[in-house]
Amino acid sequence: MSPSLALLTSLFLALVAAQTPGKNPETHPKLQTWKCTTKDGCKSQQTALVLDSASHPIYQAKNTKLGCGDWGNPPNKTVCPDEETCAKNCIMEGINNYADYGVTTEGGSVLMKMFGKNGVASPRIYLLAENEKKYEMIKLTGNELSFDVDVSKLPCGMNGALYFSEMEETGGQSKLNPGGAAYGTGYCDAQCFTTPWVNGVGNIKAQGICCNELDIWEANKKATQLAPHTCSKPGLYRCTGSECGATGVCDKNGCGNNPYSAGDKSYYGPGASMKVDTSKPFTVVTQFPAKDGVLQEVKRLYVQNGKVFENAAVNVTGPINDAYCSKNGATKFISEGGMKGMGESMSRGMVLAMSIWWDDGGFMHWLDSGNAGPCNATEGDPKVIQKIEPSPAVTFSQIKWGEIGSTYKAKKHYYS
């Protein structure tokens, strides 16, 4: 993602997670997903969801009114002088009612609301495997992913995101982090931010947390962007100093593709005049063709009312590959591995994440204003958002992955 520091802070409104599980159980919402092949079609599985550990109730063992650290900083030095003491002093409770945090599921559909029981929730969730102890590791190189989405309740300034992070399958589960993936630990992305915990262990050295990130979908009803972000280090990497910055080990801006920026102002948006009418649900298909195991490009299709639309202005901009990225100034993406590096991360396996958030500092201008979209300078202000849409929400459903051409059906193809 390409959010400002102020915006990302909204994702961590709660104090960041403690490491010793408390007495309250964790009850994960079930979510049906599908694995597909061209020969046998799609077969369902009963996966589950877990909220990021930062959303879990946490407190100090000897003072339940105090937390253990704030996002953007290492943990509290008094309760966390070292990793072992930190784990003993910090308690993380399970969540048994995800609806209180803005997350509900039904069959293969998950509804995410910006507001929960106690105000702004801004939930971020990860897909767990059927055993609910590890993350579902999805390998997309040479394959495709599809999902249905309803963005009709996401006005300017909102972002309903579906993306992948090269987190560890266990969430960094260890002696000091017994909860692991089941409690939503182990998050990382290409922004390399500092949080009080790295893989569920006290971040005593105040290191940044980096890993490859594949932003499949960042969108509201007015604009959308796709952007892979490469890192030169595989897996979760603990950065220090300049390694964490813009010239460090990860590409923070990504190789972005936005229909509006591509020049097609009538491609994506609410209303029948748009090719993709965002006032109604539609299917997003993202394909990752490979040659000899090496990722060649990223291809986007949209399906609505039985029609398949190729990504906007592709005949003008060309496919999303290394040449496209170089032409559009994504030099950091290329230098940190380009499509080959992104594909290697995808082949190792990545964790599916979904979130809903707004941008307190930048009003989401990078996504939907100026050259990026039709929204004006103030529409993305959270105070304005709540007047336009009192209950911002996004619904993701029918999440499927597998061989190219296996996850969707349509009557006819249309090309822009």
| Torsion of the alpha carbons at 231, 236, 237 and 241, rounded to the nearest 10 | 80
The β-bridge partners of 227 are 215
Separation of alpha carbons 273 and 43, rounded Å: 36
Which residue among 83, 93, 166, 218 is the active-site one?
Answer: 218
User: Taking a C-beta distance cutoff of 8 angstroms, is the pair 129, 75 a contact?
Assistant: no
Give the separation between CA 49 and CA 186, rounded to whole angstroms.
Answer: 15
Cβ(215)–Cβ(254) under 8 Å? yes
d(C-alpha 195, C-alpha 405), whole Å: 40
| Contacts of residue 50, Cβ cutoff 8 Å, sequence gap at least 6 | 26, 28, 125, 126, 128, 132, 181, 182, 183, 184
Active-site position among 83, 136, 166, 213: 213
Question: Which whole-number Å values give the CA distances from 202 to 16, 62, 93, 166, 199, in the listed order?
Answer: 11, 17, 17, 20, 9
Asked about 26 being catalytic, the answer comes back as: no
Give the integer Cα–Cα distance in Å for 22 and 287.
Answer: 42
What is the rounded (10 degree) CA torsion for 388, 393, 398, 402?
100
Q: Are 152 and 279 in contact (CB under 8 A)?
A: yes
Q: Which residue type sits at 94?
A: G
Q: How crowded is residue 126: how many other Cβ atoms within 10 Å of its Cβ? A: 25
Helices (H) and strands (E) in the chain, counts: 8, 29
Q: How far is 176 from 91, CA to CA, in rounded Å?
A: 12
Cα–Cα distance measured from residue 170 to residue 330, given in angstroms and rounded to the nearest whole number: 32
Other Cβ atoms less than 10 A from the Cβ of 261: the count is 18
The structure tokens 């910055």 sit at: 245
> Amino acid identity, residue 346?
M
Residues linked to residue 86 through DSSP beta bridges, in sequence order:
none
According to DSSP, the β-strands at 412-414 and 307-310 are parallel
- For the annotated catalytic residues, the residue numbers are 213, 218
